Structure 1
Amino acid sequence: MSDMDRYLQAATRDNTRRSYRAAIEHFEVVWGGFLPATADSVARYLVEHAGVLSINTLKLRLSALAQWHNSQGFADPTKAPVVRKVFKGIRALHPAQEKQAEPLQLQDLQRVIDWLEHEAQTARQQQDRPALLKAYRDRALILLGFWRGFRSDELCRLQVEHVQAHAGRGITLYLPRSKGDRENLGQTYQAPALLKLCPVQAYIDWVTEAALVRGAVFRSIDRWGNLNEEGLHANSIIPLLRQALQRAGIAAENYTSHSLRRGFATWAHQSGWDLKSLMSYVGWKDMKSAMRYVEVSPFLGMARIMDKPDQA
């Protein structure tokens, strides 16, 4: 791979690159389309998959086709009027409500953390080191993911040498790149120590017990208690979270890694955070992104009115 290819590859996130590669393969190999594509072939591709693939999936396929044509020096067929009109028609005739992860409510966060602490205590008594490490890791990951509103890939990319944690004070975390950091300038995040459900102490307990001094913060653990050198894969966060919730007696099928982010956003909004402060803390650039994560009851205002006694 040439130096130019390496820099071009680094400009696109790994998940995006994999998604685009799969989209191009679907268009060319599975569907039988030709590249470079014509506007007519792209429109026919959309028509044949309308109602079968979700709007978001079709949108991603168009983005992948656009990126391929632009990178190869060809005219982008996805910008043609016929393609735009067909896509608009599909959205009109196949409306679909976007599925969102269930926000992890504070009482369920407390419940799962209490259970993980019980697991850690039992494992220590039984000298079960793999179970002890997993309980400490999962507690730190869930609390840090919740209170910092981190995405799964951000949790997986955390490096010990980029984290400074001080018991009873707070934690500072640096990520060289993230989804919201389009220019790859790096971003620093902070979170305070808390009296309970504390992400700072949970992190300190985990890295101390695991004897981590460098490398990935969150790693897989084998049956003998050995830690992998590499960080967890982002796809492993959902099963990890669901398994912890299920062991705590919480129905977990509607929870995903976004549940931590949505849970914090919902808690912060209900606790009186203004939207600007919430956006700044989590790292959202526009209000539309923020509102997708905030769970708001439309009846809150009505409830306040109904709670007031009638006045003559």
Structure 2
Amino acid sequence: MTDIERYVRAATRDNTRRSYQAAIEHFEVRWGGFLPATADSIARYLVEHAEQHAVSTLRQRLAALSQWHVSQGFPDPTKAPLVRQVLRGIRTLHPAPPKQAAPLLLQHLQTAVARFEQEALQAQQQHDLATLLRARRDTALLLLGFWRGLRGDELARLRIEHIQAEAGVGLTLFLPRSKGDREALGVQHRTPALKALCPVTAYLQWLEVAGIAHGPVFRKLDRWGNLGQAPLNSNSLVALLRGMLERAGVPAALYSGHSLRRGFATWATANGWELKSLMSYIGWKDAKSALRYIDAAQRFGDLAVLPSGQERSLIP
């Protein structure tokens, strides 16, 4: 790989690159399309998959095909009027509500953290390092992901050298890459120490018991408590999160990697955060992005009947 190719590759997020590669393979191999493609062939491709895939999936496939043509120096057939009209027709004839992760309820967060703390105390008494490591890692992952409103892939890519934490004060973390950072300048976030469910305390306790001072923050643990060197795979976070919550006796089937982020946004709205403050804290660039994460029931204030455990009180 040449230096130019290396820098070009670095300009695209790993998840985006993988999804684009899968989309191109689906068009060429599974459907039998040819590249470079014509507007007519892409329109037929959309029509044949209109009843099988959501419009968002079809849009992602078009984005991949568009990127392939542009990068190879060919005219972009996805911008043709025919393709746009077909996609508009599919959206009209096959409307579907957008899929959203359920927000992690504060009650469920408290339940899980209490369970993990109990596991940690018992593990210390029994000198069970494997259980202690798992309890401390899972607590830190949940609390940092929730209170910082991080995406799953951002949690997986956190590095110790990019975080400064001080007990009782707060922590500052730097993300070299994130979805909203279009200029790839990196973003810096701050999180305060809290009186309860504190992400700063949980993070420092995890580093102490794991004995790590550099590299990925969150890593794989095998059943014997062996701590890996590589970061958690972002694609495995959903299964990991659900497993953690199930271990704590929390119903986890509806939760995904975005549940932590949406859970914080819902909690913040219920506790009176203004939209502008929430956008600044999370890092959203526009209100439309923010509103997708906020539970609509919260906008009705005290008149709304919220699910059990979704308190309006400021817990920390």
TM-score normalised by structure 2 residue count = 0.94
Give the Cα–Cα distance (whole angstroms) in 2 for the partners of residues 223 and 110 of structure 1.
25
- When the two chains are superposed, the root-mean-square deviation of aligned CA atoms in Å is 1.3
Task: Spell out, residue by residue over 1:115-161, the C-alpha distance to the aligned partner (whole angstroms, 9 max, x if none).
Answer: 11111112222222111101100000000000000011111111111
> Which residue matches 1:310?
none
> Are 2:41 and 1:51 equivalent residues in the alignment?
no
Amino acid at match of 2:285: K
Give the Cα–Cα distance (whole angstroms) in 1 for the partners of residues 222 and 302 of structure 2.
52
Task: Spell out, residue by residue over 1:187-213, the C-alpha distance to the aligned partner (whole angstroms, 9 max, x if none).
Answer: 111100001000000000000110111
Aligned-partner SS, 2:276: helix
Matches within 5 A, 1:259-298: 259-297=259-297
> Which residue matches 1:165?
165
Give the Cα–Cα distance (whole angstroms) in 2 for the partners of residues 118 and 235 of structure 1.
28
Percent identity, aligned pairs only, is 62
Matches within 5 A, 1:196-211: 196-211=196-211
Q: Which moved more, 1:179-188 or 1:278-287?
A: 179-188
> Are 2:143 and 1:152 equivalent residues in the alignment?
no
> Which residue matches 1:244?
244
Task: Spell out, residue by residue over 1:67-120, the C-alpha distance to the aligned partner (whole angstroms, 9 max, x if none).
Answer: 000000100001101100000000000011111111011111111100111111
Give the Cα–Cα distance (whole angstroms) in 2 for the partners of residues 13 and 299 of structure 1.
34
State how many pairs are aligned: 304
> Which residue matches 2:191?
191
Q: Is the 8 A contact 2:270 2:301 kept in 1?
A: no
Give the Cα–Cα distance (whole angstroms) in 2 for the partners of residues 111 and 298 of structure 1.
22
> Which residue matches 2:179?
179
Could you tell me how far 1:224 is from its partner in structure 2?
2.8
Could you tell me how far 1:300 is from its partner in structure 2?
2.5
Change (3 A) 1:19 1:70: same
Amino acid at match of 1:269: T
Amino acid at match of 2:189: Y
Aligned-partner SS, 1:164: strand
Amino acid at match of 1:64: A
Give the Cα–Cα distance (whole angstroms) in 2 for the partners of residues 195 and 121 of structure 1.
20
Matches within 5 A, 1:34-45: 34-45=34-45
Amino acid at match of 1:42: I
> Are 2:123 and 1:94 equivalent residues in the alignment?
no
Q: Is the 8 A contact 2:21 2:64 kept in 1?
A: yes
Amino acid at match of 2:43: A
> Which residue matches 2:126?
126
TM-score normalised by structure 1 residue count = 0.95
Amino acid at match of 2:133: L
Q: Structure 2 regions of 5+ residues with no counterpart?
A: 305-316
Aligned-partner SS, 2:168: coil
Give the Cα–Cα distance (whole angstroms) in 2 for the partners of residues 302 and 163 of structure 1.
38
Give the Cα–Cα distance (whole angstroms) in 2 for the partners of residues 217 and 22 of structure 1.
29
Give the Cα–Cα distance (whole angstroms) in 2 for the partners of residues 63 and 219 of structure 1.
32
Task: Spell out, residue by residue over 1:14-46, the C-alpha distance to the aligned partner (whole angstroms, 9 max, x if none).
Answer: 000010001001101110011000000000000
Amino acid at match of 1:223: R
Could you tell me how far 1:64 is from its partner in structure 2?
0.4
Q: Is the 8 A contact 2:269 2:298 kept in 1?
A: no
Give the Cα–Cα distance (whole angstroms) in 1 for the partners of residues 148 and 110 of structure 2.
16
**Larger of the two Rg values belongs to structure:** 1
